[in-house]
Amino acid sequence: MTKPITDLAQVLSASEKRRLERASQRLLNRFPQVDLAVVLAAVPPQIPLGVYAFWLFNRGLLSSASESGGANRLVLFCIDTAGHRAAAMAGYGLEPFLPEAQLQICLNVYAQTSAQNGLAAGITAFWNELDAQLTKVHLQIPRLFGLKTSADEADGSF
């Protein structure tokens, strides 16, 4: 498998893949500490997509051995093209900053957009929403780590 896009189902055109690669690069330029992977596959219906995504995350060689545990900052987005399902997982290094609720928001945006405009547009929408969620986290980090207090926010300092 290759990042950022692995199309095992072969449903994306070459131009869609190029557009998605450019879109992923824009996100990676804004958040270079994050890694992205999208896998499109026709997953058998009897396999829960979350289990399949977990297996891909751990056995798909999308991260190197040095990117294990807290050093893993991969966001895996798995799309079942046969069952029209999607799942997302964040590596252990991102879990404190990108909980399931925020990934679910990204998945909801994907579902709405892909239903109306197709898979490539849905993937782009997922990444755009991921950008928005990471931006929110980025803005909260100083306060979360005690570098900025409520008083600082009230008087506009810092």
The tally of domains found in the chain comes to 1
Rounded CA-CA distance 105/40 in Å is 20
Rounded CA-CA distance 130/154 in Å is 28
Q: What is the span of the domain harbouring residue 80?
A: 5-155
Helix (H) or strand (E) holding 76: strand 74-80
Rounded CA-CA distance 82/9 in Å is 9
Q: Is the pLDDT of residue 63 over 70?
A: no
Which tokens belong to 30? 């804004």
Domain CATH for 39: 3.10.310.50
Average pLDDT score, the chain: 86
Predicted pLDDT at 158: 44
The percent of residues in the chain predicted with pLDDT above 90, rounded, is 63
> Which pairing describes strands 85-90 and 74-80: parallel, antiparallel, or unpaired?
antiparallel
Q: Where residue 157 falls among pLDDT bands split at 50, 70, 90?
A: very low
Residue, of 2 and 68, whose pLDDT is higher: 2
Task: Tell me the mean pLDDT in the region 114-133.
Answer: 96
Rounded CA-CA distance 148/124 in Å is 33
Q: Where residue 99 falls among pLDDT bands split at 50, 70, 90?
A: confident
DSSP designation for 69? G
Indicate the pTM of the whole model: 0.84
User: Biggest alpha carbon distance in the chain?
Assistant: 56
For helices 14-30 and 119-144, what crossing angle results, to 10°? Answer: 10
Q: Is the pLDDT of residue 152 over 60?
A: no
Backbone angles phi, psi at 13, to 5 degrees: -80, 165
Q: Where residue 69 falls among pLDDT bands split at 50, 70, 90?
A: low
Predicted pLDDT at 113: 97
